[in-house]
Amino acid sequence: MLRARIARSLSRHYPPGRRAIVSVTPLNSAEQHGHLPSSQSPITSTLHFFNSVTSGGTQIPTYRVLDGIGNIIEGANVPQIDRDFARKMHANMVLLPTMDNLLYNIQRQGKISFYVGLPYGEEATIIGTAAALAPDDEVLGQYREMGVLLWRGWGIDSAMAQCFGNHEDKSSKGRQVPVHWGSKELHVHTVSSPLATQIPQAAGVAYALQRDPERRGRNCAAVYFGEGAASEGDFHAGMLFASTLPSPTLFIARNNGFAISTPAAEQYFGDGIAARGAGYGMDTIRVDGNDVLAVLSATREARRRCIEGGRGVLLEAMTYRVGHHSTSDDSFAYRPRQEVEDRKRIDNPIARFRLFLHAQGWWSDEEESALKDRLKMEVMASFRKAEQVKRHELKELFTDVYAGQEPVSLKEQREELTALIRKYGGVWEPWTAELKKYKDGGKSLTGDE
């Protein structure tokens, strides 16, 4: 074929009588593959540009197990789950909007300083992935993934304590704004405010796991990030690291359609985040993030590949952020109210799974209303308790900020604060009022009884 094409081309450019002397010989195997450095790329004479990782320029498909109303799609494999496991998944999904409602409202009442909506609309993405991980897989979240901690048994009280920054907050001793969760015991690394920093960190954590004989082949590092965070350079750094070095990192992209007010259509021109996986030579899947069974199956398989291959794997979960971005956002300023109302109904992750549970005979309407009542009461009781608990002792402001020797700057700051409390703490009303919020009234710094 190649010979014929070259001959045709020659006869067009060099009419009979003026023919150039060119001999056409068959290509040997080295020539077919060229002599390109670091490449097995076959040689072609077709001037072809491509702009898709699928054939025919179609978009990457989305993996589903359940249809929009909870029926199993023909030919789909239901992941192995038993009744108790399925009910636990459902209860954890229902808990998230219950907490979301309360935390959102108490921020509005000024009881907590700030709040980033939990995954209202993204419950299946969070719980489906959490349920597929081993309890000691390392997790690095963005902020919407408190459900992973709850799945691992953190408890509602811990979440409330973190949001109130009271002395029961073990994540950061009340020194972080709400939503910066973490738990060393549960292998969930503390959230950082700057977007995407967790991505290369996760690649490093997974590299460390791979170097540890106790954990190599047993654990991965799972990292969550939004499609917005995937625009940061850190995303590419993390992906390159985990595709090049032995680093079992499970990249979980929550594509919820928005980065605050910027819709996904304005964030990238390619086929979502999944299209980037192949560019890094990574096994990649796109999954319906509102179908908890599809998320569970895809994450279990992604995790298996990650650990067995000792390399990164990318999973993109397609979902929709039903809530506002945070308490500093009014999303109706940039998206129609009707779109949100529609999205609450269409493919609703909780309703879909509940219908599946009903069809299995694993759940009833009575159990559903009892669950909702119980969770509402538990969340309310936990809030009432957290509200009463005082802050840590004030000296804790300066402890374990850094490992090792305390830097001089920290020592100076502690001395300055101590001097100011001695001067104003007992006499100036804003300070006396503020100090009462601490367990020790500030005395752990001044040394007073």
Ligand X SMILES: Cc1ncc(C[n+]2csc(CCOP(=O)(O)OP(=O)(O)O)c2C)c(N)n1
Q: Which is nearer to Mg ion, 182 or 226 (CB)?
A: 226
Q: Which does 188 bind (CB under 5 to 8 A by kind): ligand X, Mg ion, none?
A: none
Q: Which of 142, 256, 267, 331 binds Mg ion (CB under 5 A)?
A: 256
Show contacts with Mg ion in window 258-297 (CB under 5 A): 259
Q: Which does 260 bind (CB under 5 to 8 A by kind): Mg ion, ligand X, none?
A: ligand X
* Minimum distance, C-beta of residue 333 to ligand X, in the bound complex (Å): 15
Residue 121 engages Mg ion in binding (rule: CB under 5 A)? no
Q: Which of residues 160 and 252 has its CB atom nearest to ligand X in the complex?
A: 252
| Sheet with 138-140: strands ordered across | 188-189, 138-140, 221-226, 249-255, 313-318, 283-288
- Mention every residue, 6+ apart, whose C-beta is less than 8 A from residue 368: 354
Q: Which positions ≥6 away from 249 have C-beta within 8 Å?
A: 202, 203, 205, 206, 220, 221, 222, 223, 238, 242, 306, 312, 313
Break the chain down into helix, strand, coil percent, rounded to 5.
45, 10, 45
Q: Say if CB 391 and CB 174 are below 8 A apart.
A: yes
Return the ∠ at Cα 120 (arms to 115 and 124), rounded to 5°: 130
Our finding on whether 228 is near Mg ion (CB under 5 A) is yes
Nearer to ligand X, 329 or 367 (CB): 329
User: Which token pair is 378?
Assistant: 């538990």
Q: Rounded distance, CA 146 to CA 83, Å?
A: 24
Please say which residue, 63 or 258, places its beta carbon nearer to ligand X: 258
Q: How far is the CB of 259 from ligand X (least distance, A)?
A: 3
Least Å from the CB of residue 382 to ligand X: 24
Between 209 and 230, CB nearer to ligand X = 230
The residues of the shown chain that bind ligand X, judged by CB under 6 A, are: 144, 193-195, 225-229, 254, 256, 258-260, 321, 325
Q: Which stretch binds Mg ion (CB under 5 A): 51-59, 81-89, 211-219, 257-265?
A: 257-265
Report the nearest approach of Mg ion to the CB of residue 220 (Å): 23
Q: In this chain, which residue has its C-beta nearest to ligand X?
A: 226
- 203 token code pair: 């690649």
Q: Which of 20, 27, 21 is nearest to 2 (CA)?
A: 27
Q: What is the DSSP letter of 254?
A: E
Least Å distance between CB 317 and ligand X? 11
Q: Decide which of Mg ion, ligand X, none touches 275; Cβ closer than 5 to 8 Å per partner kind.
A: none
Would you state the structure tokens that stand for residue 201, as one six-digit string? 């960190």
**Is residue 117 at the binding interface for Mg ion, with CB under 5 A as the rule?**
no
325 binds, among ligand X, Mg ion, none (CB under 5 to 8 A by kind): ligand X
Spatial distance between the Cα atoms of 176 and 157, rounded to a whole number of angstroms: 17
What residue ranges in 187-295 does DSSP mark as E strands? 188-189, 221-226, 249-255, 258-259, 262-263, 283-288
- As a whole number of Å, the CA-based R_g of the chain is 28
- Total residues interacting with Mg ion, rule: CB under 5 A: 5
> In terms of Cα–Cα distance, which of 112, 131, 126, 129 is closest to 179?
112
Q: Choose among Mg ion, ligand X, none what residue 144 binds, the Cβ cut-off being 5 to 8 Å by kind.
A: ligand X
Q: Is 226 in the site for Mg ion (CB under 5 A)?
A: yes
Q: Min. distance of Cβ 354 from ligand X in angstroms?
A: 24
Pick from Mg ion, ligand X, none: which does 105 bind, CB < 5 to 8 A by kind?
Answer: none
Name 175's bridge partners: none
Nearer Cβ to ligand X, position 321 or 354? 321
Question: Least Å distance between CB 264 and Mg ion?
Answer: 7
Please say which residue, 181 or 258, places its beta carbon nearer to Mg ion. Answer: 258
Distance, in Å, from the CA atom of 138 to the CA atom of 195, rounded to the nearest integer, reads 19
Partner touching 52 among Mg ion, ligand X, none, CB below 5 to 8 Å by kind: none
* DSSP-assigned beta bridge partners for residue 315: 252, 285
User: Among Mg ion, ligand X, none, what binds residue 193 when CB lies within 5 to 8 Å by partner kind?
Assistant: ligand X
The minimum distance between CB 310 and ligand X, in angstroms, equals 27
Q: Which residues bind Mg ion (CB under 5 A)?
A: 226-228, 256, 259
